[in-house]
Amino acid sequence: DQQVKQNSPSLSVQEGRISILNCDYTNSMFDYFLWYKKYPAEGPTFLISISSIKDKNEDGRFTVFLNKSAKHLSLHIVPSQPGDSAVYFCAARSRDNFNKFYFGSGTKLNVKP
Amino acid sequence: NAGVMQNPRHLVRRRGQEARLRCSPMKGHSHVYWYRQLPEEGLKFMVYLQKENIIDESGMPKERFSAEFPKEGPSILRIQQVVRGDSAAYFCASSPLASTNTGELFFGEGSRLTVL
């Protein structure tokens, strides 16, 4: 039962343009969302997060948008850089269980120079 | 570098053997999580432990898998009588608190298990 879904397995973007990675969820109890970035042969690293009380959080080139009514969040990277090429995982945590983070299947971003 | 340390990075086992994966959390972290990533899939929660306690093992297969986090030493994920379907990357993560404001987990580089 996939409660966090990333329907695009891959995305290719030209350097300098915007990258938009999407994530959908099904559990209305989710109240905290995170994006992780993963390079090959490394563990995921935290990128940015957003609480359900907000609809936007920005950190430098990275912005996460949350649409609770649509149960959808997105990560915008602008401008995209070749070093951003990695797999991006969306994750969510439920307000009734802080222990468990649910991850999507990831989107592989390729930023072309 | 006081990051999350996992070993071995690569482990090859034949069907029926045992696999032991070790994880040392970041300094000061007392909460450990194990996740499994199957090929072409996302990270699947397996178990959450604090020192000497299993808090949530709802993601652990009912048989052959066990985890511990003793008072001294690393956390161990043990897989008995491995089968080919156990081949995956196993990631350990740690956090200082179960319900931190950031909710950030710090991941190790993973242990890749291959079952022949």
pLDDT tens profile A56-102: 999 999 999 999 999 999 999 999 999 999 999 999 998 887 778 89
DSSP state of B25: P
A72 Rama sector, left if φ>0, alpha if ψ -120 to 50, beta otherwise: beta
Choose from B56, B105, B112 for mutation: most chain A CBs within 10 A: B105
Which pair of structure tokens corresponds to residue B59? 């993601």
Which residues from chain A sit within 8 angstroms of residue B94, using beta carbons?
A: none
Choose from A21, A48, A98, A102 for mutation: most chain B CBs within 10 A: A98
**Cβ within 8 Å, pair A101-B98:** no
At A48-58, the pLDDT tens digits run 999 999 999 99
The 3-state DSSP class for residue A79 equals coil
Q: How confident is the model at residue A14 (pLDDT cuts 50, 70, 90)?
A: very high
Please, which residues bridge with residue B5 across strands? B24
Residues B89, B108, B6, A95, CA torsion sign: negative
**Cβ within 8 Å, pair A98-B58:** no
From B87's Cα to the closest Cα of chain A, the distance in A is: 16
Q: Please report, in angstroms and rounded to a whole number, the separation of the first and last CA atoms in chain A.
A: 38
Dist CA A1 CA B17 (whole Å): 30
Average pLDDT by consecutive 10-residue portion of chain B (116 residues)? Answer: 88 97 92 89 89 90 95 95 96 77 83 96
